Amino acid sequence: MAAQDDVSHGDIYHKLGSLEGKVEALLMQLGERRDDINNVFGRLRQVEHRVAWAMGAAVIISLITPHVISGLEPRLHLGAPSSQQR
């Protein structure tokens, strides 16, 4: 018999136990990675929400600013210089 054919049940069970341990370790790492990925997606969701609020605020400010400046223009004298100022 060749050396490869000389495998006992104990050897098979030992290798099987080793494989089971490696699979368990991989499953634990996979669970940790899933938690990390879920955490990242949660943080990304918060950033997207804040950016949406900021964009909305920017739109509102850009709509209000011209009206505020138009209302304040007579008081601030932002127009062309008049003949009195020369």
Report pLDDT digits (tens) over 9-66.
888 989 999 999 999 999 999 989 999 999 999 999 999 999 999 999 999 999 999 9
Residue 1 is predicted with a pLDDT of 46
Tokens of 3: 């050396």
pTM of this structure: 0.53
SS (H, E, C) the chain: CCHHHCCCHHHHHHHHHHHHHHHHHHHHHHHHHHHHHHHHHHHHHHHHHHHHHHHHHHHHHHHHHHHHHHHHHHHHCCCCCCCCCC
